[in-house]
Amino acid sequence: MDAKEIIARRVAKEFKDGDVVNLGIGLPTLVPNYIDEDVEIILHSENGFTGIGPAPEADQIDPNLVNAGGMPVTIIPGGVFFDSAMSFTIIRGGHLDATVLGALQVDEEGNLANWMIPGKLVPGMGGAMDLVGGAKKVIVAMTHTAKGDLKILKKCTLPLTGAKKVSKIITEMGVMEVTPEGLVLTEYNPEYTLEQIKEATEADLIIPENIREMC
């Protein structure tokens, strides 16, 4: 299994039947492939609908039906279209059970930076600030480091997307929960030693006695 598959498989276990979930662009979109058959989640697309279905066949592409990344998608039976105000009422109003997104940096206080690198990359926040600020559970799903650069820090140095909002960080190395005491490594991937995981993490990791193997 490659890192992305390990992460997506583990994220898929975070949801319970009936959850309303928004998945960010990239790695998070792999998550539905691994969700248990008896768990039905409602996928929210911030451009204005719930019930995102699989990508259409090439000859079935409908230019009026795209996801928040502008890619052609489908809508499943029971899905609903709405405008942008309703879409963010769902997000900001506490009606979204979870959001899963990537990060440039995340820190032990649950701060998240993923919308700009000053002077280098300024794509804009799109809906990310609302998702991070509004979702009941904010799950960061990403590779543990970026080409050797540490991303799980004591304190984010890049401009924040949201302050103290992250609930959980899931990487190919393990699962970390943000707590008032700091980052707790609740699960680890046995392909790595705890020392290797600590080395790949700038933030202090609290290792509980009941740490489990990541599955």
Partner 1 sequence: MKKLVSIEEAISKIEDGMTIMIGGFLACGSPNKMIDALLQKGVKDLTIIGNDTGFIDRGIGKLVVSGQAKKVIVSHIGTNKETGRLMNEGKLEVVLVPQGTLAEQVRAGGAGLGGVLTPIGVGTPIAEGKDHLIIDGKTFLLEKALRADVALIFGSKVDEKGNVYYHESTRNFNPLMATAADFVIVEAEEVVKVGELDPHLIMTPGLFVKQIVKA
Catalytic machinery residues: 46
Work out how close the CB of 48 gets to partner 1 at its nearest, in angstroms, rounded to a whole number. 5
Cβ distance to partner 1 smaller for residue 85 or 215: 85
Q: Are strands 182-188 and 212-213 parallel, antiparallel or unpaired?
A: parallel
CB nearer partner 1, residue 146 or residue 163? 163
Under rule CB under 8 A, residue 47 binds partner 1:
yes
| CB 28 to partner 1: min, Å | 17
Characterise 119 by phi-psi region: left (phi > 0), alpha (psi -120 to 50), beta (else).
Answer: left
Q: Out of 57, 58, 59, 70, point to the residue binding partner 1 (CB under 8 A).
A: 70
Q: Give the tokens for residue 30.
A: 């792999």
Residue tagged 């994220």 (tokens): 11
**Residue from 40, 83, 191, 204 in contact with partner 1 (CB under 8 A):** 83
| Span near partner 1 by CB under 8 A; candidates 8-16, 64-72, 140-148, 173-181 | 64-72
Annotate each residue in 89-128 with x if it binds partner 1 (CB under 8 A) or - if it does not, as one string: --xx------------------x----------xxxxxxx
What distance in Å separates the CA atoms of residue 36 and residue 99, rounded to the nearest whole number?
18
Closest CB to partner 1 among residues 78, 148: 78
CA R_g for the chain = 17
Q: Rounded distance, CA 7 to CA 49, Å?
A: 26
Q: Which letter, b or e, does each residue of 125-139 get, where b requires 16 or more Cβ atoms within 10 Å of its Cβ?
A: bebbbbbbebbebbb
CA angle 174, 44, 72 (to 5 degrees): 100
The residues with which 104 forms a beta bridge, in sequence order, are none
Q: By C-beta, is 104 or 129 nearer to partner 1?
A: 129
For the CB of residue 190, give the shortest distance to partner 1 in the complex, in Å: 37
Site residues for partner 1 per CB under 8 A? 45-49, 62-66, 68-70, 75, 81-85, 87-88, 91-92, 111, 122-130, 133-134, 159-164
